[in-house]
Amino acid sequence: MIDERLEQIYQDVVQRNPAEREFHQAVREVLDSLGPVLAKRPELAERKIIERICEPERQIIFRVVWQDDCGAVRVNRGFRVQFNSALGPYKGGLRFHPSVYLGIIKFLGFEQIFKNALTGMPIGGAKGGSDFDPKGHSDDEVMRFCQSFMTELYRHLGEYRDVPAGDIGVGGREIGYLFGQYKRIANEYESGVLTGKGLGWGGSLVRKEATGYGAVFFADDMLKVRNDTLEGKTCVVSGAGNVAIYTIEKLQQLGAKVVACSDSNGYVYDECGIDLDLLKQVKEVERLRIDAYAERHGNGARYVPAGNIWEIPCQVAMPSATQNEINGRDAATLVKNGCIAVCEGANMPTTPEGIRVFQDAKVAYGLGKAANAGGVATSALEMQQNASRDSWTFEYTEARLATIMREIHRTCYETAGEYGAPGNYVLGANIAGFLRVADAMDAFGLV
Ligand code: NDP
């Protein structure tokens, strides 16, 4: 921590938000970057802009009651943290996972403020979700849960107020049920109230692919500034969900070889390169566990239950599952095995110790809030299409995404250089994102 004022702000955040470990971690990472900003812009400290950014504008916690297929009553908890609306309506996904509690939603909402600012698009930061686990529930149960969840949440949403999307456990199926219930209650076809919609009812081409594709564009740019490319690189991608699948797709399109992916039970290793059609069939169509990939493959693909995917030698690692999945030891293993670039599709997948290992070893390290911003950026493109009642082609939308990602990379890279830390994307992303939000907040006075 460079500045005493920042240390004090951090201590206050910890005290005011007890036991929210992931939120503390996300705040610490940003505050660790802001010392040089306060040195240049002391008025931001006087006006307590950082303290204000660390306090959500609004936090909503609600009960979600629903009935399972046996008629038993189930009770879950719903969250929406509307963190910051300085740059536009609140925007950020919904996560359905048993690990969800307020600290997870606040860490994700806090990250989202800076990520959304980096896209350069008019969107504020928010996040929501529930401790409901869609895994193991029938479609009917998921529908009843989503309807009950939206029956409370709808009053806080609107295309100019708050626009959720998907995240872990919330894909096209869940967005469909949520949108259907919103439309029914609001009695309006308000397409721009949710993103990640189906293509036949207001969705955007490339939204499904956007986070993974965008992360690969970012990795490609990180290598380009080092006069290198993704072509021929051996890659490991954790997860086997939305982000992981489309990360693998774009890596393969750019000539890289992805040898492993995972779920929370284990990983599959496929020396010849992951068979993407088979992976999509297993995960997207049949919603099976990842071991089914190896079972069906029949040609040397190996399933390793409870295995640590980061022990597999690779040149490029793209964590695309969940927070804190790479610790200091995993990072050291990756470095020892020759990894030269780590680019995060997931949010905060690397612990602070892991980040230090990568930075000390001069690994190109692209943090999630910059590298995975392609998802929310394409959500903003979906909102643009909804507002103009238009729909764009795949090629046009992908080109827009690629331009946005290249611009985010350039902004982070140049800001890091400007603040005396060339190649430090953590510093560049945090400072550039922060300044955009801070300047807008400052212009609004004390609100
Ligand atoms: P999905 O639900 O589609 O997939 C998540 C994948 O990660 C699954 O394979 C899941 O395995 C695995 N996973 C989840 N939790 C854990 C865990 N605790 N340990 C090991 N594996 C786990 O989610 P997404 O692909 O949408 O999201 C992945 C990451 O990307 C998240 O960090 C999310 O916040 C981030 N992200 C997503 C965006 C999007 O547009 N979807 C945008 C920006 C960031 P299992 O099935 O076993 O749970």
Q: Are 405 and 218 in contact (CB under 8 A)?
A: yes
- Same domain membership, residue 367 and residue 222: yes
Residue 106 falls in the annotated catalytic set: no
- Same domain membership, residue 359 and residue 257: yes
Per-residue pLDDT at 302 exceeds 60 = yes
Structure tokens at 399: 């080109």
Residue 444 counted as domain residue = no
Cβ 375 under 6 angstroms from ligand 1 = yes
Residue 320 CA to ligand 1 centre (angstroms): 6
Rounded distance between C-alpha atoms, residue 231 and residue 251, angstroms: 8
Atom 48 of ligand 1, residue of closest alpha carbon = 264
Rounded distance between C-alpha atoms, residue 123 and residue 86, angstroms: 8
Residue type, 199: L
Structure tokens at 78: 């719903």
- Same domain membership, residue 86 and residue 214: no
CA 283 to chain centre: 19
Tell whether pTM > 0.85.
yes
Cβ 308 under 6 angstroms from ligand 1 = no
Residue 169 CA to ligand 1 centre (angstroms): 7
| Whole-number pLDDT of residue 298 | 80
| Whole-number pLDDT of residue 166 | 97
Instruction: Domain count for the chain, please give it.
Output: 3
- Same domain membership, residue 339 and residue 217: yes
| Whole-number pLDDT of residue 300 | 85
Q: Are 413 and 428 in contact (CB under 8 A)?
A: yes
Q: Are 85 and 50 in contact (CB under 8 A)?
A: no
Atom 7 of ligand 1, residue of closest alpha carbon = 321
Q: Are 64 and 130 in contact (CB under 8 A)?
A: yes
Residue 200 counted as domain residue = no
127 vs 49, 308, 424, CA distance in Å? 21, 29, 27
Please name which of 226, 219, 295, 307 lies closest in space to residue 263, comparing C-alpha atoms.
Answer: 307
Structure tokens at 62: 């609600």
Cβ 204 under 6 angstroms from ligand 1 = no
- Same domain membership, residue 61 and residue 44: no
- Same domain membership, residue 308 and residue 250: yes
Residue 194 counted as domain residue = no
| Whole-number pLDDT of residue 1 | 53
Cβ 239 under 6 angstroms from ligand 1 = yes
- Same domain membership, residue 157 and residue 76: yes
**Per residue in 371-397, is it b (16+ CB within 10 Å) or e — as a string?**
bbbbbbbbbbbbbbbbeeeeebeeeeb
- Same domain membership, residue 86 and residue 74: yes
Q: How many CB atoms lie within 10 A of CB 136?
A: 6
- Same domain membership, residue 48 and residue 61: no
Per-residue pLDDT at 70 exceeds 90 = yes
Quick one: which atom of ligand 1 is closest to the CA of 375? 40
- Same domain membership, residue 50 and residue 166: no
Domain termination residue (choose one: 157, 189, 221): 189
**Per residue in 110-129, is it b (16+ CB within 10 Å) or e — as a string?**
bbbbbbbbbbbbebbbbbbb
Cβ 247 under 6 angstroms from ligand 1 = no
Residue 322 CA to ligand 1 centre (angstroms): 5
Residue 161 counted as domain residue = yes
Helices H / strands E in the chain, number of each: 18, 12
Quick one: which atom of ligand 1 is closest to the CA of 244? 25
Domain boundaries, position 26: 1-55
Q: Tell me: the pLDDT tens digits for 378-429?
A: 999 999 999 999 999 999 999 999 999 999 999 999 999 999 999 999 999 9
Mean pLDDT on 146-171? 98
Check which CATH number belongs to the domain holding 161 and give it.
Answer: 3.40.50.10860
| Whole-number pLDDT of residue 48 | 97
Residue 163 counted as domain residue = yes
Give the SS3 label for residue 268. strand
186 vs 156, 163, 166, 191, 201, CA distance in Å? 12, 14, 20, 12, 17
Mean pLDDT on 227-234? 98
| Whole-number pLDDT of residue 182 | 98
Residue 76 counted as domain residue = yes
Beta pairing class for 90-96 and 162-165: parallel
Check which CATH number belongs to the domain holding 301 and give it.
Answer: 3.40.50.720
Mean pLDDT on 135-145? 97
Residue 423 counted as domain residue = no
Mean pLDDT on 366-379? 98
Per-residue pLDDT at 2 exceeds 80 = no
Residue 428 counted as domain residue = no
Structure tokens at 232: 């021929």
Q: Among the options 106, 127, 208, 257, which is catalytic?
A: 127
Domain termination residue (choose one: 371, 389, 408): 371
- Same domain membership, residue 363 and residue 215: yes
Q: Is 412 left (phi over 0), alpha (psi -120 to 50) or beta?
A: alpha
- Same domain membership, residue 180 and residue 38: no
Q: Starting at the earlier edge strand, list the strands of the sheet with 257-263.
A: 302-305, 266-269, 257-263, 234-237, 316-318, 341-343, 364-366
Atom 44 of ligand 1, residue of closest alpha carbon = 346
